[in-house]
Amino acid sequence: MALAFDEYGRPFIIIKEQEQKSRLRGLDAQKANINAGKAVARILRTSLGPKGMDKMLQSPDGDVTITNDGATILEQMDVDNQIAKLMVELSRSQDYEIGDGTTGVVVMAGALLEQAEKLLERGIHPVRVAEGYEMASRIAVEHLEHIAQKFDFNVTNIEPLVQTCMTTLSSKIVNRCKQTLAEIAVKAVLAVADLERKDVNLDLIKVEGKVGGKLEDTELVYGIIVDKDMSHPQMPKRIEDAKIAILTCPFEPPKPKTKHKVDIDTVEKFQTLRQQELKYFDDMVQKCKDVGATLVICQWGFDDEANHLLMHRNLPAVRWVGGVELELIAIATGGRIVPRFQELTPEKLGRAGLVREKSFGTTKDRMLYIEQCANSRAVTIFIRGGNKMMIEETKRSLHDALCVARNLLRNNSIVYGGGSAEISCSIAVDAAAYRYPGVEQYAIRSFAEALDSIPMALAENSGLQPIETLSAVKLQQIKDNTPFCGIDCNDVGTNNMQEQNVFETLIGKQQQILLATQVVKMILKIDDVISPSEY
Ligand code: ADP
């Protein structure tokens, strides 16, 4: 588009090549958008719940990911359609804010779109649908507050937290070890939590993985693990009460930045130069020793000469440690990162009770454990597993569990899972629809129906008859006023989620409903799609 002026100075807009663009208007636009959104939701629907299917995604360069996590599936799908991208964003926002419930939010949005399509076909204006959805979502969110329960936990009784994390993990590939992993997640979060401010800095929890061993060998280390080893095989493998110099300067003589020329024409000159270089190394090592360092961790490398000297002078060292790790080590050990040798002072050294090198199985792989740190508020979860895919999926699942534990620490309200909260909301929203005299009433009822799609999907994925199962549970909830009855996905024998210990966080569930409604409202309000034409 361009702004032009006619001979009287009046502005007008020139729209270029309009006829070459494809354009969809009115109901056609809404239907096309709804279909795009539904298509994305359909993909995720089968992944929902403890019996949900996993997806295998191959990237253009051949990397394979197997996952059950909604956000990851959508992230890697590389969708083209703009509305489909909105759904991807939706799942991502749930991931950023809450960390769990990324599949559920998309399935919910898909169901809302499906219901909206029916309403549009019956001639209801999209804006009225959007308004009805908004009202219904408010009713649902309020109702969730009513059925939510608080639970008490403290540092000695972590069982309720573990149970909630286990619900999250039960739908993942790693559910075989959900008890171990849930306990690790809760302990990690409690270790770094600020219980007074009720906040958790998840950056202090490092998740590291190494191929090999079993998933059960996954452990929580109160300290930092670095995927590096001592720079020389003869250096000590265990240092107690370590004082650590954390350096971002290399162990090498300074190099002039501009071009330089050194003429060496005699043996003596060469000897002097060599002596000079040696002295540089020696001074550096001496400087570290003088301030009292017993271990050097360096962001850069050092050549064989320096390495040998370090070994000789009995100063263990680790080289090529990444920036992020270096920062974490500094936080954990209470040390300072030192950019120049001249700035090294005893106060800047980090302290750790034990630094040890651990080797794994028959491989040459070794890792460095820095434990009993001065500032114990940094922990590492060390994942073991048969292959890289498994480790990556465990990392993603643990991320969800960590987020759930953090959310509970911030706000200890829970609702019951297994679709029970959705069914209860659906009943409440449906009952409230009569209070609204306008056309919105239809949209509100459709919203209630859309809420049912979560328990339906859970039942479907578990091989149960969706309609029969849902209506039976719904009847039970209405008759006995039991908002904790859901879908018995694992065939335990009871659909009482309280007994099954299937919890979800209140804020997570509320966020799911709010975000899904927001996106659907946005999609419904688009009535003109102008896109560049294909040819
Ligand atoms: P999301 O990515 O949205 O968390 P999941 O695939 O993890 O999706 O599935 C979560 C859904 O599965 C929630 O509705 C939760 O209540 C339900 N769920 C988890 N464990 C169980 C269980 N043991 N029995 C019934 N439902 C469960």
- Closest atom of ligand 1 relative to the 418 alpha carbon: 26
Ligand 1 center from residue 177 Cα (angstroms): 16
**Beta bridge mates, 206:** 380
- Pairing label, strands 149-150, 337-338: unpaired
Q: Do residues 186 and 206 lie in contact, with contact meaning Cβ atoms separated by under 8 Å?
A: no
Q: For 426, phi and psi rounded to 5 degrees? A: -60, -45
Ligand 1 center from residue 485 Cα (angstroms): 14
> What does the pLDDT read at residue 521?
92
Tokens matching residue 181: 């992993």
- Which residue, by CA, sits nearest to atom 7 of ligand 1? 171
Tokens matching residue 72: 């990851």
Contacts of 383 (CB under 8 A, 6+ apart): 207, 208, 209, 210, 215, 218, 391, 394, 395, 398
Look up residue 189 and give its amino acid.
V
- Which residue, by CA, sits nearest to atom 26 of ligand 1? 418
pTM of this structure? 0.80
Look up residue 481 and give its amino acid.
N
- Closest atom of ligand 1 relative to the 422 alpha carbon: 14
Residue whose CB lies within 8 A of the most ligand 1 atoms, among 48, 87, 451, 503, for a mutation test:
48
Instruction: For 464-497, give one letter per residue: b (16+ CB within 10 A) or e.
Output: bebeebbeebbeebeeeebbbbbbbbeeeeebbb
- Which residue, by CA, sits nearest to atom 12 of ligand 1? 49
Ligand 1 center from residue 482 Cα (angstroms): 19
Q: Which domains does the chain have, with CATH numbers?
A: 17-150+415-532 (1.10.560.10), 223-375 (3.50.7.10)
- Closest atom of ligand 1 relative to the 500 alpha carbon: 23
> What does the pLDDT read at residue 460?
92
Q: Do residues 120 and 132 lie in contact, with contact meaning Cβ atoms separated by under 8 Å?
A: no
- Closest atom of ligand 1 relative to the 52 alpha carbon: 6
What CA–CA distance (Å, rounded) separates 422 from 191? 33
Residue whose CB lies within 8 A of the most ligand 1 atoms, among 103, 165, 171, for a mutation test:
171
> What does the pLDDT read at residue 295?
92
**Beta bridge mates, 302:** 251
- Closest atom of ligand 1 relative to the 420 alpha carbon: 16
Residue 39 has a CB neighbour count (10 Å cut-off) of 15
Tokens matching residue 33: 């958008």
Q: Where are the beta strands (DSSP E) in 446-523?
A: 503-505
Residue 494: enclosing H or E segment and its boundaries?
Answer: none
DSSP SS3 for 238: strand
Residue whose CB lies within 8 A of the most ligand 1 atoms, among 68, 107, 458, 473, for a mutation test:
458
Q: Do residues 370 and 355 lie in contact, with contact meaning Cβ atoms separated by under 8 Å?
A: yes
Ligand 1 center from residue 104 Cα (angstroms): 8
Ligand 1 center from residue 48 Cα (angstroms): 6
- Which residue, by CA, sits nearest to atom 11 of ligand 1? 49
Please list the active-site residues: 69, 102-103, 400
End-to-end CA distance of the chain: 20
Closest CA to 88 of 24, 55, 43: 43
- Closest atom of ligand 1 relative to the 487 alpha carbon: 25
- Closest atom of ligand 1 relative to the 100 alpha carbon: 4
- Determine the angle formed by the axes of helices 178-192 and 159-170, rounding to 10 degrees: 130
> What does the pLDDT read at residue 171?
79
- Pairing label, strands 238-247, 295-298: parallel
Q: For 456, phi and psi rounded to 5 degrees? A: -60, -45
Q: Do residues 370 and 333 lie in contact, with contact meaning Cβ atoms separated by under 8 Å?
A: yes
- Closest atom of ligand 1 relative to the 69 alpha carbon: 2
What CA–CA distance (Å, rounded) separates 214 from 95? 28
Q: Do residues 148 and 504 lie in contact, with contact meaning Cβ atoms separated by under 8 Å?
A: no
> What does the pLDDT read at residue 492?
84
Task: Give the ipTM of the model, two decimals please.
Answer: 0.96
- Which residue, by CA, sits nearest to atom 27 of ligand 1? 418
Per-residue tens of pLDDT for the chain, all 535 residues: 678 888 888 888 777 665 566 777 788 888 888 999 999 999 999 999 888 888 898 888 888 888 888 888 888 888 888 888 889 999 989 888 888 889 999 999 999 999 999 999 998 999 999 999 999 999 999 999 999 888 777 777 888 888 888 888 887 888 888 899 999 999 999 888 888 888 888 888 889 888 888 888 888 988 888 888 888 888 888 999 999 999 998 877 777 777 778 888 899 999 998 888 888 888 888 888 899 999 999 998 877 878 888 888 888 999 999 888 898 899 889 899 999 888 899 999 999 999 998 887 766 778 899 988 887 678 899 998 888 888 988 998 999 899 888 888 888 888 998 899 999 999 999 999 888 888 889 999 999 999 999 999 999 999 999 999 999 999 999 998 888 899 988 888 888 888 888 888 899 999 999 999 999 999 988 887 877 765 5
**Beta bridge mates, 496:** 485
Ligand 1 center from residue 212 Cα (angstroms): 29
> Rg of the chain's alpha carbons, rounded to an integer?
30
Give ligand 1 pocket residues (Cβ under 6 A).
Answer: 47-50, 52, 68, 70, 100-104, 167, 170-171, 417-419, 458, 486-487, 489-490, 500, 502, 504
Residue showing tokens 């020329």: 261
Q: Do residues 228 and 320 lie in contact, with contact meaning Cβ atoms separated by under 8 Å?
A: yes
Helical segments of 239-353, H only:
267-291, 304-312, 323-333
Ligand 1 center from residue 194 Cα (angstroms): 29
Ligand 1 center from residue 322 Cα (angstroms): 37
Look up residue 146 and give its amino acid.
H
- Which residue, by CA, sits nearest to atom 9 of ligand 1? 49
Ligand 1 center from residue 168 Cα (angstroms): 6
- Which residue, by CA, sits nearest to atom 4 of ligand 1? 101
Ligand 1 center from residue 6 Cα (angstroms): 63
Tokens matching residue 303: 């050549």
